[in-house]
Each structure stands twice: as structure tokens, then as C-alpha cells.
Structure 1
Amino acid sequence: MQKIQAVLCGYYGFGNGGDEALLAALLQMLPEHVTPLVLSSDPAATEKLHGVESCDRNHFSTVFSALRSSQAFIWGGGSLIQDATSALSPVYYTGLMFLAQRLGLKTIAWAQGIGPLNYRRNRWLAKQTFKGCAGVSVRDRNSTQFIQDWKLQASQAPDPVWALDATSVYRRVELPNPRIAVSLRAHPLLTPQRLQHLSEALVLFQNQTQASILLLPFQPRQDLDIAQALQKQLQGPSQVLQLSDPRQLKGVFQTVDMTIAMRLHALIMAAAEGCRCVGLSYDPKVMQLMTDIDCPGWELEDLPTQPQTISQVWVEHYRQGQGLTEASRNGRCSQALEHQKILEQVL
């Protein structure tokens, strides 16, 4: 089959473990005859981490040259087309997709988590660019609803990170068993008061279970301060572990017994590796996942104000709860490979 080059576009090079995991999954699923060229905020870091060619996503002339020399354009997975974080984010991504389509590239919207789209302009831009794609896959029901409202076609499958290969990191975890992973992120809903309630609950939980606490900052520039602040209050064994390789991040969850997480991909990775999970939702996508995997927890707005109440739920799930069965995990992994079929069909 003839070799082609595809530009991969997503929230890459920002040090976010979830988005790097999506890129790793995309590269894992990419057909062999396709050579990737990744648009990144930090091309050197992307080339080192993923072993692929990369260029600066912020230099228009460089991006334009990359598109002119390529035959395909792939919006990488995740919540790219949403304006809750930034009203300009969907403008950037739809603008690149529109340019790729005008240049005649085959275009794919891959493993998308669409919305929220609060601005009419952004909904119109998204509809027009999705309409021009040769293939579309989405990862959740809300995204499917957007596609149906726009009278378009897409396949829906679980997030591709369910199918990402994990790398063992047993030697990197320097804690006695049992171990509990904790992944929190900076967010307006995680107020200082709520963070203090969670911190006090974690101390109570550790005292009751004698578990070690493994703190995982998925995006260190946002999460590290929180992880370090939690560690200072813990009285038992704890470790802050920073990993840039998403395969290693997923491998971490092979070493722990339960995970408490805000971050979507921390919960996906943990569930995929058979961990018991407790969620803290700051976004509808997290609550959707929690419902899908029958994961206890709270929306942050509804977090109990009594640390004892929080800790009690954690302890009960630690002692009596179960992770997904092997059959359920394998089923989600197989379903996630539907995203690979879109790549094979179009490219």
C-alpha cells in the first residue's frame, strides 16, 4: 500500500497525561502505511516521548507547510470541540480542519468528545467542519447527540485509552501494599475548602485502612501543587509520582488497589486495569464515565462537607467494592478498537 503522511492535531505537548495517552493510542492504532506528523506545543518533547516527527502548532507557516506536504488530517481524540474551557479553542481546531479540507486532505474527526458548545458561532463552525470529514468517531452519548442533531453519521465507541497498551512500572512505585492512587486537578470547583475536606478525608481513610497513598499529577503544572499539599498532611506512607509516558501512567494502576480521581483518563486507566474506582466529577464527561462503570463518588458541587462522610464512602468501597470484571474490561477494549476501523476505512 502506498505510503501517506497524516497530520495529527490535538491537545498535544502540554504535559497532560490524558491527552498524551490519546495520542499514544492514536499512534498505536494508525495503519502501518501512514506516517504521522504531530502538531504540538512542545515538538521536542513530543518527538522524545512518542518517537515521531512533530512541529510547532503555534507557527502558522509551519503548520501550513505540514498540511501542504500531507495527504490526511486527523483531529486526535478528546474534548477539542468545546468552549467551556475557552471560547477560542473550537475556533482553532475547526479552523485547522477547514484549512485541511480546503487543501484537499482526507480528514477524520477521531474519538471526539464534543461539547459543551455554548456559543452559536462555535456550534455552526463545528457542524460545518464535521460535515466535511471523511470519517467521524465519538466516544460518548452526548457527542453522538450532537452528530445526530446535525444530521451526520458517526460511530460511537469507548475512549481509545481503554485499548492503550500499558507498561509495567513496579520498580517506580516505592510504597508498601496496599496502595491507593489519588489524582486531583486544579479547577474552580475544587475550592480550597473542598480540597481541605478531601485532604482530611484522606487522612482518616489512611488511618483506617493503613494504605499507602500514591499521588499522581497527570498534568504537573496544574496538579503537582495539589499533590504536594496533600502529601504534607498525610501521616502514613505516601509518594508523589510524576510520569510523562502515558503507557507507564496506565501501568501504575496495575500496582494499586483503588483509585480516587477527578481526571477522566485516570479513571479510565484505573478501570481498564481492574482497579476499584471512586470519582470526583468536575465535568459531564467524568460523570458519564462514572455512571457507565458504576463508580461511586460525587460531583464536586455536591461533595459532602464532613470529611468523615467522604472517608466512610471510600472505606466501604475499598473493603467491599469491586473493579470491572475481566470480561467487561475486555469488552470495552474491543469496542474501543472501533476507532481504529475509522482510520483503516478512510486511510
Structure 2
Amino acid sequence: MLRIFLFGYYGYGNFGDEILLSCSIELLKKICGDPKIHILLPRKSHPFENNPKVSRLNLPGIVLNILKSDLVVGGGGGIFQDETSLRSFLYYSFIVFTALILRKDVILLCHGIGPLRRKLSRWMMRKILSSRHVYPILRDEVSYRYCRMISKNAVLSVDLLVLKRLETPRKMNRNTGKISMILRKIPKDMEDFTKILASIGVSEIDLLVFFPNMDYGTNRKLQEDLREKFKVRILMNHEDLVESVMTSRFVMTERLHGAILSTLVGTPFISNLRIKKINRFFRDYLGRCDFDDAIDLFDTITKLEDFNFDEYRERKLVDWEKKKKDLMKKLTEILKKVENKR
């Protein structure tokens, strides 16, 4: 039985990260049969009760689990960046360096790399990627091109959320008065912001909290600012988030997984031009603007109304399906190499 140590930003209730965890486990089981997967988590209680847990704060326990593992897997996301936290970047780099010192193969499964603002971070990332025991599987072309300069093992793929099975998308009712927002900060000009939404017939707004620890306070304040003109709900339950996106006229998002989810279920979205993760993944998409620029926002909403989103979505799904097949093939090759070393 193959023993795998799986790490990521899991266990904090974040919509995207919890899906990345479930998709990582499903994918590894599909290819490996019945591996024993040890998961890095902040606490012992978690839905994946059948999988052994490793505390994030137990460094000796982490080292011991890596030592006993046949393979170390970073299960998706954008954890190798220092824009939000250098400490977090150093933590995940420690896990990879420990694995390499202990002569373990490491798969960075459907990751986005960067931004890397600091010289130390860039040096450490180059060291990680230069190892022949590291297999970077990247979710966007920018990350892939960067990694390919350093690692011959780099492969372009998709975000793990694309693997998630969701309900068949409904035909969108473009006359609905409800939209969903997935925001990390409050727009600067709230007066013009609300006038624009009211002028296009919006009467209901769902505020979707993908990162409870980081975004809930912002959304509570946003609810107070919006409730004078709109019916406003704050949603955090994962099933409610998906349902809201599926039933909205369009989605405004500052989270990458909000944009991917919208595409999967067939709902047009507008993303904040300042969010690099989304720009990388949807480089060919029309619906991007600066949420702090009311004129830009209004112009983008107007263009989106005339945009054939269904056609765009079909092109993306075809591309993602091909990359999913390539991902399965590449993972199978890597895991065969690991099995042969045992």
C-alpha cells in the first residue's frame, strides 16, 4: 500500500481549499487504488475521518510522517507565494525541503506559483524546482512558463476545482434581479457602486464568504452598506455558495475559485482586474475590470450583457477536459516511478 503525505491550506473552512482537499484525495485514490493518505490539518476533527491526520504545529510529527511516506503531495492552490504571508511560504517550503532531504519525491499538484516579492522566496523556489525529485504540475500558463525555465518536470494542467463534479448548469435567466459577490475588500466608491447595480435592475445581493477567517468581517460591513437599497444575504455554507452562483444573473468575484465555479455552472462573472490569480487563469476573458473604478465596472457589465458566455464556457470546458486527461496520464507516470523505487 502506497503511503502519501498530503499538505495544503486545509481545515479552515475555506470553500476552495476544502474542495482542493477532496479532489486531491479522489484523484490519488483513482490512480493509486487504496493508498494510505496522511493529511496535514490544524485540528483532528475533519470530514475525512478515515484518513490519518497530522497537526500543522507538530513539526516532529510532520518530519516523522514524511520519513515514513513513499510520496509527498502538495494538493493544489496558491500556497507558494509571499504576497500575503512570508511565514506561510517558508512553512510550506520547509515541508518540501524536508521531503527532499529525506529523499522523497514531491508532487506539486495543480499549483499556482507566486507572486514572489522577496529575494529569499525566489531563491528558495528555484531550489525546490531545480530538484529532479520535484514534479510541478501547474494550473496556469504563467506559473508553467516560470517553472519550465527551471524544471524539466514542469507540466501545464488545470486547477483541481475543475475535476469537481457539479450539477448540470441551468439555462441562465438574464432578467433575474439577483447577483452574487465574492469580495475581499469593500469598493472605494460605494455610492456609485450601488447606483450602478440599482440602475441595471439588481434588487438582491448574495455575499458569498469563501474565506471565513479573512473575509467575514468585510462582508458584514458590506452588508450594512448595501442593505438600504438591496435585499442582502451572507452565505458561508458550501452548498449555499454553489446554489447562489448557479441562480445569479452574474457573479462579481475577487476569488479565483469563484470564477472557476461560475464557469463550471454556466453563470457569467466579472473579476477584479487587480487579482493576478484570476488574470492568469482567465487571460482571454472579457469580463475583467477595476472594482474601484465605477465607470470601468459599468462598461464591463454592459459588455457582459452582450457577450456569448455559453460559447466561451464551452471552449474552456473542452480545454479543461483535455488537460484533465493529460493530468491523469502524467500522474500515472509519476506514481509508477515512485512504486518502482519501493
Identify whether the pair has TM-score above 0.5, normalized to the shorter chain: yes
- In structure 1, the residue matched to 2:154 is 154
Is the 1:24–1:50 Cα contact (8 Å) retained in structure 2? no
Distance 2:122 2:195 in 1: 45
1:289 is aligned to 281
Determine if contact 2:167/2:265 at 8 Å carries over to the other structure.
Answer: no
Q: Is the Cα contact below 8 Å between 1:257 and 1:276 reproduced in 2?
A: yes
2:257 maps to a residue whose letter is: H
CA shift for structure 1 position 324 = 4.2
User: What is the aligned partner in structure 1 of residue 52 from structure 2?
Assistant: 53
Moved segments of 4+, more than 3 Å: 49-53, 247-252, 338-342
Shift of 1:242: 0.8
1:330 matched to 2:317? The reply is yes
Report percent identity of matched pairs.
20
Instruction: Report the equivalent of 1:173.
Output: none
In the alignment, what sits opposite 1:104?
103
Q: Greater CA deviation, 196-205 or 99-108? A: 196-205
Counterparts of 2:177 and 2:8 in 1: how far apart (Å)? 36
Deviation at 1:221, TM superposition (A): 2.1
2:287 and 2:304 in contact (8 A); partners too: no
Report which structure shows greater RCO (CA 8 Å, sep ≥6).
1
Query: Do 1:160 and 1:336's aligned partners in 2 also have CA atoms closer than 8 Å?
Result: no
Partner SS state of residue 153, structure 1 = coil
TM-score between both structures, scaled by the size of structure 2: 0.83
Q: Report the Cα distance in structure 1 between the residues aligned to 2:267 and 2:246, rounded to whole angstroms.
A: 8
Gaps of 5+ in 2: 336-342
- Deviation per CA, 1:71-105: give whole Å up to 9, x if none: 11001212222222222333222221121223233
**CA, structure 1 residues 248+26, in 2 after alignment: closer, same or farther (shift >3 Å)?**
farther
CA shift at 1:280, angstroms? Answer: 1.1
1:160/1:292 Cα in 2 relative to 1: closer, same or farther (>3 Å)? farther
Match of 2:41 in 1: 40
Distance 1:314-1:121 versus aligned 2 partners, 3 A rule: closer
| Count of aligned positions | 323
What do residues 96-154 of structure 1 show as CA deviations (whole Å, max 9, x unaligned)?
Answer: 11212232333211112112223333223222222243522111122122223215331
CA contact (8 A) 2:136 2:147 kept: no
Q: Distance in 2 between matches of 1:220 and 1:200?
A: 27
Q: Cα RMSD between the aligned structures?
A: 2.8
Letter in 2 for 1:18: G
2:249 maps to: 257
1:239 aligned onto 2:230: no
What does 1:1-347 correspond to in 2, within 5 Å?
3-30=1-28, 31=31, 32-44=33-45, 47-48=46-47, 52-130=51-129, 131-166=131-166, 177-186=176-185, 195-198=187-190, 200-232=192-224, 233-234=226-227, 235-243=229-237, 245=238, 249-298=241-290, 303-304=292-293, 307=294, 309=295, 312-313=298-299, 315-317=301-303, 319-325=305-311, 326-337=313-324, 338-347=326-335
- Which is worse superposed, 122-131 or 316-325? 316-325
Shift of 1:39: 0.5
How many Å separate the matches in 2 of 1:253 and 1:49? 26
Cα offsets for 1:218-264 (capped at 9, x unmatched): 11222122222222223233221112x4x764454222221001111
Q: Structure 1 length as normaliser, TM-score?
A: 0.82
Contact persistence 1:199–1:230 (CA under 8 A): no
- The structural deviation recorded for 1:160 is 2.0
Amino acid at match of 1:77: G
Q: Is the 8 A contact 2:77 2:112 kept in 1?
A: yes
Unaligned runs of 5+ in 1: 171-175
Q: Does the 8 Å CA contact 1:181/1:214 hold for their aligned counterparts?
A: yes
CA distance in 2 between counterparts of 1:202 and 1:98 reads 49
Is the partner of 2:3 in helix, strand or coil? Answer: strand
Amino acid at match of 1:66: N
Q: Distance in 1 between matches of 2:44 and 2:194?
A: 38
Q: Secondary structure in 2 aligned to 1:291?
A: coil
Which AA in structure 2 matches 1:106? D
Report the 3-state secondary structure (helix = DSSP H, G, I; strand = E; otherwise coil) of the residue aligned with 1:111.
strand
Is the CA contact 2:289–2:297 (under 8 Å) kept in the aligned structure 1? no
Counterpart code for 2:302: E
| 1:199 CA drift (Å) | 6.4
Q: Hey, what's the Cα distance between the residues in 1 that align with 2:136 and 2:95? A: 16
